Chain A
Amino acid sequence: DAGVIQSPRHEVTEMGQEVTLRCKPISGHDYLFWYRQTMMRGLELLIYFNNNVPIDDSGMPEDRFSAKMPNASFSTLKIQPSEPRDSAVYFCASRRHGDYGYTFGSGTRLTVV
């Protein structure tokens, strides 16, 4: 099992550009979570999906952020336009219904300059 796979590992972009972060959950896991980690706020839940359907997106900071899960094996988090304050590490995690634990990906470190 390859675990939760995120790409890219690092992304540096200029303010105003579109950024797309990708996540492949563990096969068979039906929940997928996107978290953002900053020094000030720790790990914040942005959005989570169950069976590819967004369940709670109340943590998405603003309309510049959007997330999709077109199928059970792929999700994207898009920021358009990006701003320097979006610089953070973005984690994807997945779990299977009935299991209590999550498995995290390695994260994408985003720097917006």
Chain B
Amino acid sequence: ILNVEQSPQSLHVQEGDSTNFTCSFPSSNFYALHWYRWETAKSPEALFVMTLNGDEKKKGRISATLNTKEGYSYLYIKGSQPEDSATYLCAFTYKYIFGTGTRLKVLA
């Protein structure tokens, strides 16, 4: 059974704080890892697609790193804002498996 695990499950931070969370996935049969941002009542929105060990991607205040050998990826948000509040999902595309997400709430 392939498992994609995300931690923490939920997180509350103050506006302006930087934060990070983790996605763990099987290190064998790696193809690609996706990060999605999912706001309530909307469909998941793609943030990053990461394919190579050591990949680092950045989009504004959000960045991600990838370690395929040990099977993890980190998502970082610098200077969190209330509009960053959402569920952040990672997906492991060998079997199109999603993690259960990290629910981030940024308090003003």
Q: Does A102 contact B (CB under 8 A)?
A: yes
Question: Which residues of B, 82-108, contact A by the 8 Å Cβ criterion?
Answer: 89, 91, 93, 95-101
Contact partners of B99 in chain A: CB under 8 A: 42
B97 touches A104 (CB 8 A): no
Q: Does A45 contact B (CB under 8 A)?
A: yes
Main secondary structure of the interface of B (DSSP, over half): loop
B49 touches A101 (CB 8 A): yes
B32 contact from A42, A100, A106, A107, Cβ within 8 A? A100
B43 touches A42 (CB 8 A): no
B95 contact from A4, A42, A45, A91, Cβ within 8 A? A45
Q: Known contacts being A100-B34, A101-B34, A102-B34, is A45 close to B43, with CB within 8 Å?
A: no
A106 contact from B42, B89, B91, B96, Cβ within 8 A? B42
Q: Which residue of A lies closest to B49 (CB)?
A: A100
Contact partners of B101 in chain A: CB under 8 A: 42-43
Min distance, Cβ B1 to any Cβ of chain A, angstroms: 11
Contact partners of A56 in chain B: CB under 8 A: 95
B34 touches A48 (CB 8 A): no
Interface residues of B toward A: which range?
10 to 19
Question: Which residues of B, 31-70, contact A by the 8 Å Cβ criterion?
Answer: 32, 34, 42-44, 46, 49, 51
Q: Known contacts being A100-B51, A104-B43, A104-B44, is A45 close to B97, with CB within 8 Å?
A: yes
A107 contact from B43, B91, B93, B100, Cβ within 8 A? B43
Q: Which residue of B lies closest to A44 (CB)?
A: B98
B96 touches A45 (CB 8 A): yes
Contact partners of A41 in chain B: CB under 8 A: 100
A33 touches B96 (CB 8 A): yes
Which 4 A-B residue pairs are closest in the complex by CB-CB distance?
A42-B100, A104-B43, A100-B49, A43-B98
